[in-house]
């Protein structure tokens, strides 16, 4: 009997994985293109609102160039759909905002498309040499026989000594050809390109563990010690039992070895210094140069997830009330004992009325404020400050700070008209005593003149020299006013009461 049934099941499971579902369907090219334009090795996560706007922009750009895009969709709806399809991961950033990142399935699909779109040699000397070297190294590690391992080491030592002696005797050092270096570049780029998806799988495994522990804590049906034991066991299995875990462990060892990192950087510089590197594209050069950065960033993301998981465990252990848990256990055990006693005499249809909620406590109104003797005490007596009080102002000082002296100004105008020394009103004002030449008296004089209709708009200005009560002088420009005989007669019979009536 053939194995087609088992193969069919395995192939079906593989085709149902999110990686191949991303590359299947009418909009596969659209999805991969949007992911490659929105995310990169240097931009692993994008803020949620920004990605929504960016996808909307890409939709408009593709439609403008005649490319078919999913109809009746927006950037927000597409991102939500991709999260449900396990191609995007949505999580909280450090500042509390939402951000998107590609899942390991999406990274695998993008790497597959990128490898298929790049010209590469499937079988080459460098690739076969890499395989042979890897097999030789692991065969040496796996040999259980000490004699066999010694023999393999002697062969390697003999080969290395022969090459050393040849170089010391003046042998030529032939640099690798351009074709060989290009094959090596292709293999190296493929290996580096697989790292982000490997690290992402480790990060997602830790995240799944985080969610499971949170679910166990919320259920509260397992003891804390049991959850911790499972967490430690899963952590050990994650690092040692899975390929991505072993890759992460090796990368972590590399990051802790400064000598290995220095050797990696030096070797990358030597590789890129070969003339064959001139034909590489900028993207390929950045991939090779960023090998160390990829390892560092992937390890950093995994450790960040592990720190979040550890913080969750710590928070639950610190806030977990053991006494409350024991008290609840005692109550439940007491209920169980009473139930067993009741079942000894109760019939098959007997019921017990049990209140689901305790009765509401009826509490009368309490005083919100109590009587305070201090609040009823009289205020302290006022201090006698009569001796420190300043002298009260005189009547003349108060009058000097008051309004204009209208009656005295009217009589001054009448006297000036009677003596024939009137001239203009401004000239008369400038000859008045100081007490009648305050700035406010200028307004009073204008009020009197306007009351008899002698204030005209076509008159030119003249200077009124006012004197303040403190002796300072101020000049005011006022229309020049000359009283006629009729106006003088009217002024003689004008009164303050009549002006108020007007």
Summarised one tens digit per residue, pLDDT across range 170-204 is 777 666 677 777 777 777 777 777 777 777 777 77
In angstroms, the Cα distances linking 384 to 69, 307, 380, 381, 388 are 92, 73, 12, 9, 9
Query: 279-306 as b/e, with b when 16 or more CB fall inside 10 Å?
Result: ebeeebeebbebbeebbebbbebbeebb
Interatomic CA distance for residues 292 and 274, integer angstroms: 20
Interatomic CA distance for residues 60 and 58, integer angstroms: 5
pLDDT in tens, 306-350: 777 777 667 766 666 655 666 777 788 788 888 878 877 887 778
239 pLDDT tier (thresholds 50, 70, 90): low
Has residue 120 got a pLDDT over 60? no
> Cβ contacts of residue 131 below 8 Å, gap of 6+?
none
* Mean pLDDT on 261-276: 79
Query: 397-425 as b/e, with b when 16 or more CB fall inside 10 Å?
Result: eeebeeebbbeebbebbeebbeeeebebb
Which range is most confident: 78-87, 366-375, 390-399, 451-460? 78-87
Residue 490 near residue 452 (C-beta atoms within 8 A): yes
pLDDT in tens, 39-80: 877 777 888 889 999 999 988 888 888 888 888 888 889 998
Has residue 466 got a pLDDT over 70? yes
Identify how many contiguous H helices and E strands the chain contains and give both numbers: 23, 5
pLDDT of residue 396: 77
- Write out the DSSP string of 228-281: HHHHHHHHHHHHHTSHHHHHHHHHHHHHH-HHHHHHHHHHHHHHHTSGGGGGS-
In angstroms, the Cα distances linking 240 to 229, 250, 451 are 17, 11, 110
3-state secondary structure of 383: coil
Residue 287 near residue 189 (C-beta atoms within 8 A): yes
Please state, rounded to an integer, the average pLDDT across all residues of the chain. 76
What domains are defined for the chain? 4-106 (1.10.10), 177-319 (no CATH), 404-501 (no CATH)
H or E element that contains 166 = helix 146-168
Has residue 294 got a pLDDT over 50? yes
Q: What percent of the chain has pLDDT over 90?
A: 0
Interatomic CA distance for residues 457 and 459, integer angstroms: 6
pLDDT of residue 122: 45
């Amino acid at each position: 009997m053939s194995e087609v049934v088992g193969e069919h099941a395995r192939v079906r499971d593989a085709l149902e994985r999110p990686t191949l579902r991303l590359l299947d369907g009418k909009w596969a090219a659209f999805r991969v293109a949007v992911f490659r334009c929105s995310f990169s090795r240097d931009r692993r996560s994008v803020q949620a609102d920004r990605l929504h706007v960016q996808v909307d922009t890409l939709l408009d750009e593709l439609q403008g160039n005649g490319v078919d895009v999913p109809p009746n969709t927006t950037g927000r709806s597409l991102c939500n759909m991709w999260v449900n399809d396990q191609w995007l991961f949505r999580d909280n950033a450090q500042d509390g905002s939402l951000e998107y990142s590609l899942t390991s399935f999406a990274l695998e699909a993008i790497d597959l498309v990128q490898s298929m779109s790049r010209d590469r040699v499937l079988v080459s000397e460098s690739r076969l040499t890499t395989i042979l070297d890897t097999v030789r190294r692991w065969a040496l590690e796996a040999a259980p026989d000490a004699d066999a391992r010694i023999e393999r080491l002697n062969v390697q030592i003999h080969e290395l000594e022969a090459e050393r002696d040849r170089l010391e005797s003046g042998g030529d050092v032939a640099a690798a050809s351009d074709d060989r270096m290009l094959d090596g570049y292709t293999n190296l780029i493929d290996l580096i390109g697989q790292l982000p998806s490997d690290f992402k799988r480790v990060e997602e495994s830790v995240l799944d563990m985080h969610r499971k522990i949170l679910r166990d804590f919320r259920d509260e049906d397992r003891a804390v010690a049991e959850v911790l034991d499972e967490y430690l066991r899963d952590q050990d299995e994650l690092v040692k039992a899975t390929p991505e875990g072993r890759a992460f462990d090796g990368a972590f060892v590399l990051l802790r070895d400064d000598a290995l990192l220095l050797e990696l950087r030096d070797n990358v510089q030597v590789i890129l210094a070969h003339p064959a590197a001139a034909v590489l594209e900028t993207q390929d050069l950045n991939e090779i140069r960023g090998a160390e950065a990829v390892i560092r960033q992937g390890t950093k993301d995994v450790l960040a997830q592990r720190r979040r998981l550890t913080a969750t465990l710590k928070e639950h252990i610190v806030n977990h009330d053991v006494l409350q848990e024991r008290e609840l256990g005692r109550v439940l055990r007491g209920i169980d004992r009473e139930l067993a006693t009741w079942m000894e005499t109760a019939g098959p249809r007997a019921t017990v009325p049990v209140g689901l909620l305790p009765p509401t406590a009826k509490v009368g109104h309490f005083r919100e404020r109590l009587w305070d003797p201090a609040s009823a005490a009289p205020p302290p007596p006022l201090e006698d400050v009569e001796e420190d009080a300043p002298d009260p102002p005189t009547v003349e000082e108060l009058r000097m700070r008051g309004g204009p002296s209208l009656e005295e100004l009217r009589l001054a105008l009448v006297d000036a008209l009677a003596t024939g020394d009137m001239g203009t009103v401004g000239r008369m004002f400038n000859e008045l005593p100081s007490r009648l030449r305050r700035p406010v008296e200028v307004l009073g004089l204008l009020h009197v003149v306007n009351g008899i209709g002698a204030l005209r708009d076509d008159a030119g200005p003249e200077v009124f020299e006012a004197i303040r009560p403190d002796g300072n002088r101020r000049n005011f420009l006022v229309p020049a006013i000359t009283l006629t005989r009729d106006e003088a007669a009217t002024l003689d019979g004008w009164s303050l009461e009549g002006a108020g009536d007007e």
